[in-house]
A and B are shown apart, each in its own frame.
Chain A
Amino acid sequence: MSPAVEPVWTPASPGTDFAGQLAALRSAPRQASAGVNERLAALHGLSEALLSGAGNLREGLPADGLAFLSAFLREDNLRSLIAREVPAPDALSQFVAIGPRKSLRLLPRGLVCHWVAGNVPLLAVFSWAVSAALGNANAIRLSSRQGDVMSPLLRSLAAQSPVGRIISDETLVVTFDRNHTEAQHAMSLAADVRIAWGGRDAVDAIRGLPTRWDCEDVVFGPRMSMAVIDPAVIKPTAVTRLVTDIVIFDQLACSSPQVVFVKGVPDEAGFDAFMGLFQEAFARQSAAFRRHGLDFAETFRISLDRSRAILSGGTVLRDGGTQWTVAIMAAPADGIDCANRFVQVVPYQSLDEIYPFVPENAQTCVVQLPPQDLAAFSEQAAWRGVCRFPNPGEGNHFENPWDGIGLVSRLTRFVVRSEAGR
């Protein structure tokens, strides 16, 4: 295999080359390795280490999202994510009855290969943690545009407990150029499950790689997100949380709101009061969270999109530089690129005005609405494509299901047994 495959984290007994490492990982016997309860406990230990900062674990990891990662890895959280999807979670350990004459057992599918996008560095950890908890081996290809988020975690995990060591030994982390055909093919052909994160080009490229006929594909592809807010029911703290959802990953995540629908009309007290809080929070949170350095094209685009919003009749609220922009528009403007802390605010008076603007590739809709409106809106918007309706502050919180996909089902093999003699 070409030396252009850079090992980032290599299991204890690797093969001789990348293809050999993948084969060794896939064929390693896992029946006698740790069970789900021990695995969840080991991941919980990692969460504790993140909280306490033991062994300088937090150094070298991106600050954005670290607190959420710590919460995500807690045993009760992971159990809850599994229980949302599997009616009998004990089936991960043994056959359990699921009816009068049937039992169910869930087994890991084998080797799960993750292609991680560079836009949100911690994405790799979420899909890896769920997969590892369910007993799979994992191979992770990190984007060349992101730092190594995995090694510090795996090193800490291996040092904590024998089970932590097992999980880290079942994990291979590499980086290679996206055009490295040989490596791409090797990873794809070894996979029992392929998890692809990223934009259209990235996920299409991965889906086009040769693979086993029974390989399961989990595609977290290109989607857009939004928010719907009624100023009458949102508190100032929630406004700050909503802004954090927009600001935190520079809107590079598919769960980052790009358009915020706000009930009311400009120059009306409720709407204007909300906009005052929103604008203030945008300035504050933009200063609080460091933004990635924009390239020339991104910077030009901010200047261009501000001009587009103004010339299209919108009102632009912004800083004196290029840090943040809020464009109040009569309707979402498709030509405006809502990235790098550029959000469109669209006033509405009736929820019916919003539905035509809910795209079928919608992912997240952050909501803060009165209960009756929430019930009506979420039913309609879900039919149109929205996959989740979190509260402000939870927009980017990875959860199961994600993108409408139940991850536990995709990462396990469902085995049923008829009970004898009944």
Chain B
Amino acid sequence: MATNGELPVPGQAAAAPELQLFVPGLAPFAMPAAEKAIFLASRLAELLEYHRERCPGYARLLTDWEQYGGGDGDYVQRYPFVPVTVFKEYDLKSVAGEVAVVRSSATTSTQASRIYIDKASRKRQSRSANLILTDFIGAERRPYIVFDLEETVRGAKAFSARGAAILALAHLATEFHFVLREGRDGPELDPDALHRALAKIGDAPFIAYGFTFMLYNAHRQMASLDLPRAHPDSVLLHSGGWKKLVELAVGKPVFNGVVSGPWGLRPDRVVDFYGAVEQIGMPYPDCSEGYKHVPYWADVITRRGDTLAPAPTGESGLIQLISCLPLAAPNHSVLTEDLGRIVHADGCPCGRPGKSFLFEGRAPRSEVRGCSDVPRR
């Protein structure tokens, strides 16, 4: 196993990664930077060999990477990444036999990603999401209002990005309340279901979750309902694209106002978390300062346009997401089409040590490049 900052050489024995990835008793963001660098390099080196031996496509990508190098920087900055679109077009799998497949939402892309998940990965993902979210909203289990259809977590649909995101919070739930129904133009608020849920919850604090645009639509409808004030410790989480809201010129302050308003909650009780279907189990919620933090079993690197070299703190770049969780497919280090910037190498005022970053949206499409921009026909 390589732990000295060098990529392992081909043919080196690939031990099965320890299933016990997490350090007992250690908070997700508490590992000191120097210790985290060694921890990550060790786990990532292990994962690289693990996936090389089991996934021939990934092995070919590694051969290229090792021949031409991953540029400058420390071990993690030079670690190979797979562009996320590859998971839409190729079946990359590191386990034999039947495994579950999670598909991305096809709302913003023509083709869905296919991410394989085995039992061991699912356990790691669940534990990871649990630790991260507990750090932000506490470990206390509460009633869970889901701004989605119940069918979204049933059967095959549970393996959609929406289903996976809903279930990522399941460990915090004492009971589920689904409050949307299928309408003529898609999912819409079911006022009866909402009233039934609130009657049962009473004045206890709750958690709620919905895809960003669905949560917004539902709360616009709720503005006309006479709702009781929520317990001030209640929290409303959301994730997913902002594209439709940007088209409606709805920014985060307006969004938070619309969603917190009907409940009488402070706007900061609305928490946006960033995540990707290629990195299930890795929610990145906003802290009180509006930034996202990286636990010790993961890293986030932003890469410059033009060169893909690591961007310095403060400079926007393409987001590379790294986590030690995936065992069923080599989606442990992916280059996304999202833009973000590292805000603090350390010292976020929220008190969490280590790196914090800001998600800045999808990278804009390239301008049409001219008279050569044409399919061969």
Option from B69, B309, B337 in Cβ contact (under 8 Å) with A300: B337
B305–A310 CB distance below 8 A: no
Option from B61, B69, B307 in Cβ contact (under 8 Å) with A307: B61
Q: Which of B69, B317, B377 has the most CB of A within 10 A?
A: B377
A316 to B305, CA, bound (A): 21
B residues 40-92 near A (Cβ < 8 Å) are 57, 60-61, 64, 68-69, 71, 81-83, 85-86, 89-90
B contacts, CB < 8 Å to A = 57, 60-61, 64, 68-69, 71, 81-83, 85-86, 89-90, 303-309, 317-318, 335, 337, 339, 363-377
Number of interface residues of A (CB under 8 A): 54
Task: Let me know if A240 is at the binding interface, CB within 8 A.
Answer: no
B371–A223 CB distance below 8 A: yes
Residues of B within 8 A of A297 (CB): 337, 363-366
B371–A198 CB distance below 8 A: yes
A255 to B134, CA, bound (A): 58
Task: Let me know if A127 is at the binding interface, CB within 8 A.
Answer: no
Q: Which residue of B lies closest to A306 (CB)?
A: B64
Q: Which residue of A lies closest to B375 (CB)?
A: A334
A38 to B99, CA, bound (A): 78
A118 to B89, CA, bound (A): 32
Option from B308, B371, B376, B377 in Cβ contact (under 8 Å) with A199: B371
B368–A308 CB distance below 8 A: no
B374–A224 CB distance below 8 A: yes
Known: A297-B337, A304-B83, A320-B71. A119 touches B374 (CB 8 A): no
| SS of B interface (majority) | loop
Knowing that A251-B372, A295-B363, A298-B305 are A-B contacts, what are 13 other residue pairs whose CB atoms are under 8 Å apart, sorted by A's residue number? A120-B370, A198-B368, A223-B371, A225-B372, A296-B317, A299-B307, A300-B363, A303-B83, A303-B308, A304-B83, A304-B86, A311-B60, A339-B372
Option from A119, A199, A296, A306 in Cβ contact (under 8 Å) with B318: A296
Contact with B along A354-376 (1 / 0, CB 8 A): 00010111000000000000000
Task: Let me know if A421 is at the binding interface, CB within 8 A.
Answer: no
A52 to chain B, nearest CB (A): 31
Residues of A within 8 A of B71 (CB): 320-321
A55 to B305, CA, bound (A): 37
Residues of A within 8 A of B83 (CB): 300, 303-304, 307
Known: A299-B318, A318-B68, A320-B68. A308 touches B372 (CB 8 A): no
A307–B372 CB distance below 8 A: no
Contact with B along A190-201 (1 / 0, CB 8 A): 000000011111
Known: A252-B369, A296-B363, A297-B364. A359 touches B64 (CB 8 A): no
Q: Which residue of B lies closest to A305 (CB)?
A: B83
B335–A300 CB distance below 8 A: yes
B372–A119 CB distance below 8 A: yes
Task: Let me know if A159 is at the binding interface, CB within 8 A.
Answer: no
A201 to B373, CA, bound (A): 10
A117–B371 CB distance below 8 A: yes
26 sample A-B contacts, Cβ–Cβ < 8 Å, listed by A number: A198-B368, A199-B373, A202-B368, A223-B372, A224-B372, A251-B372, A252-B369, A253-B370, A254-B371, A254-B374, A294-B306, A296-B305, A296-B339, A297-B366, A298-B305, A300-B83, A304-B83, A307-B83, A311-B61, A311-B90, A316-B64, A319-B68, A320-B68, A321-B309, A359-B377, A361-B376
A residues 271-312 near B (Cβ < 8 Å) are 293-301, 303-304, 306-308, 310-311
Q: Which residue of A lies closest to B69 (CB)?
A: A320
A334 to B17, CA, bound (A): 38
Known: A307-B82, A359-B376. A299 touches B368 (CB 8 A): no
B307–A321 CB distance below 8 A: yes
Task: Let me know if A222 is at the binding interface, CB within 8 A.
Answer: yes
